């Protein structure tokens, strides 16, 4: 079960995760993008932390919406709208909930992914964040159906996200800035898939 305090702990952990991985994500992005993904994610979640400290939203849905708005406002490139949409859709599916059961957590990630798919128009194997999030959701839904607890559900999701992230290396990018490189995008790990993996891993670490 995830309550408001658990949710805030996840968001706070994300701020640290993206600070710690700023150089790594930017390095990945320098090979096939604008070399700013790590900088953007760090800036975005630093702004999120400041906003949450200032506004102190009353519940889970309001917290997720605050995260969404801060990311959309402060993050450049495609990351802001995509991650912002992820958290906005997640907030809608968590409306009126004071705590999240395992099925609610899976629904949160499913709503977030649906938003990303609609906003970014990317599909599996386009070499984007979708390549980490889609297999993660499939694994989490399967674990939920098998009666697994939240810890196991999230661990299954993280393992699938990590595999999906690594599977972006041999792919040719078909979306975003990386797609302009054509075959030169092959051989590089996608930064968006990597930041999505980190997002899910932080949830698994904190909510375990």
Question: pLDDT tens for residues 27-47?
Answer: 999 998 889 999 999 999 999
Average pLDDT of the chain, as a whole number: 95
- pLDDT tens for residues 85-132? 999 999 999 998 999 999 999 999 999 999 999 999 999 998 999 999
Residue holding tokens 């798919």? 117
pLDDT in tens, 142-169: 999 999 999 999 999 999 999 999 999 9
Q: Is 2 helix (H, G, I), strand (E, B) or coil?
A: strand
Give me the CATH number covering residue 110. Answer: 1.25.40.340
* Number of compact structural domains in the chain: 1
- Residue 109 burial (CB count, 10 A): 24
Q: Give the whole-number percent of the chain exceeding pLDDT 70.
A: 100
Burial class (CB in 10 A: 0-12, 13-18, 19+), 121: exposed
The answer for residues whose C-beta is within 8 angstroms of residue 173's C-beta and 6 or more apart is: 32, 126, 127, 128, 179, 181, 185, 190
* pTM higher than the cut 0.85: yes
In which domain, by residue range, is 133 found? 2-207
Considering only 37-46, 72-81, 128-137, which range has the smallest mean pLDDT?
A: 72-81
């Amino acid at each position: 079960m995830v309550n408001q305090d658990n949710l805030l702990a996840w968001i706070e952990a994300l701020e640290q995760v993206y600070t710690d991985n700023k150089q790594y994500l930017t390095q990945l992005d320098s090979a096939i993008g604008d070399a700013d993904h790590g900088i953007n994610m760090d800036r975005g979640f630093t702004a999120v932390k400041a906003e949450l400290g200032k506004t102190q939203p009353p519940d889970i849905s309001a917290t997720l919406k605050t995260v969404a708005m801060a990311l959309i406002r402060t993050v450049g490139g495609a990351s802001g709208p995509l991650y912002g949409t992820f958290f906005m859709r997640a907030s809608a599916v968590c409306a009126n909930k004071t705590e999240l059961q395992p099925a609610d957590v899976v629904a949160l990630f499913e709503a977030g992914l649906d938003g990303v798919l609609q906003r970014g128009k990317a599909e599996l194997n386009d070499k984007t964040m979708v390549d980490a999030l889609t297999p993660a959701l499939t694994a989490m839904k399967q674990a939920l159906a098998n009666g697994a607890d939240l810890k196991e559900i999230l661990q299954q999701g993280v393992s699938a996200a990590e595999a999906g992230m690594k599977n972006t290396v041999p792919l040719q990018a078909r979306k975003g800035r990386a797609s302009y490189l054509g075959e030169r995008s092959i051989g590089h790990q996608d930064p968006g898939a990597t930041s999505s993996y980190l997002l899910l891993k932080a949830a698994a670490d904190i909510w375990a």
